[in-house]
Amino acid sequence: MKIGEYKLYEVQTGLFRLDGGAMFGVVPKPLWSKTNPADERNRIDMCMRSLLLVSDNRKIIIDNGVGYKLSEKLNDIYGVDHSKFTLEHEIEKLGYKTDDITDVIITHLHFDHGGGSTKIDENGKLQLMFPNAEYHIQKKHWDWAQNPSDRDKASFFPENFNPIKEQGHLRLLEGDSKFDENISLHVVNGHTPAMQVVTVKDDNTTLLFTADLFPTTSHIPPPYIMGYDLFPLTTLDEKKKYLPKIAKENWMLFFEHDAFTETCRVQQNEKGFAVVDKMNLNQR
């Protein structure tokens, strides 16, 4: 698929599982389990899907999965599985290498979104996964990650992001911004302070990289809000702000965590908002 000057590619960085109750907050299990059946540990299937944007001058990746630095205990808790997909292999399948990436846009620094920013080399030292790239992160969120609350500090691992600054590749942003003619960054604050969702747009198509504003298609209904969100009422307001525009302008949504659906569109009807036109980027 192409939007503006960019060719768009899905990059599946790995699979994992999170507690279904935490993923759906106050929504009862008999409702969410219809579309997201839980395993014996009450975890639902999820993935960590990045988006690669390639133009003549740039190769941009949005988010990069969990990486390979988690402890054995945490890999077990979250059911992390790299047996089928890895960040590097999926990029190489497209004909590129991690060294080719010029820009990394990180929506937020939770371990399942930015853990692949760094790696441990053969000498046991932390290095950047994308050594030739600038890493673009909201300053307000960067500051939060340096001193998170007791409620969310378990989601931030300094080894995932501090080397970006230490090695001189950090670019801090302040608020909504236009990355270039086709790419724009939009700040939302319900899930975590200053998460940035990304639109890729030309005269014909708008794609929204949803991050954790809409982690899966099951989270399209406004009340379906994760228990992980620090400010759920803010998330509710943000979803109500975006959904009418998404439906009216026929935006395509690209899901980072939906294990079954890569993209969809949304229609508004008398019952609310309905998911339609599920498809993969290579089918569009």
The tens place of each residue's pLDDT in the chain, 284 residues long, gives 999 999 999 999 999 999 999 999 999 999 999 999 999 999 999 999 999 999 999 999 999 999 999 999 999 999 999 999 999 999 999 999 999 999 999 999 999 999 999 999 999 999 999 999 999 999 999 999 999 999 999 999 999 999 999 999 999 999 999 999 999 999 999 999 999 999 999 999 999 999 999 999 999 999 999 999 999 999 999 999 999 999 999 999 999 999 999 999 999 999 899 999 999 987 76
**What pLDDT is attached to residue 30?**
97
Phi/psi of residue 229, nearest 5 degrees: -65, 130
**What pLDDT is attached to residue 282?**
79
Domain count, the chain: 1
Residue partners of 134: CB distance under 8 A and separation at least 6? 102, 103, 104, 169, 170, 171
142 closest CA partner among 173, 166, 112: 173
Residues 175 and 193: beta-carbon distance below 8 Å = no
The SS3 of residue 10 is: strand
CA distance 268 to 275: 9
**What pLDDT is attached to residue 281?**
87
Residue partners of 30: CB distance under 8 A and separation at least 6? none
Indicate the helix (H) or strand (E) that contains 264.
strand 263-269
CA distance 60 to 200: 12
Residue found by looking up tokens 């940035």 in the block: 196
Strands 59-62 and 103-105, bridge-based pairing: parallel
What CATH code is carried by the domain that includes residue 49? 3.60.15.10
Q: What is the DSSP string of 68-126?
A: S-S-HHHHHHTT-B-SS--HHHHHHHTT--GGG--EEE-S--SHHHHGGGEEE-TTS-E
Residues 256 and 262: beta-carbon distance below 8 Å = no
Phi/psi of residue 188, nearest 5 degrees: -130, 150
Domain that holds residue 26: 2-283
CA distance 38 to 24: 12
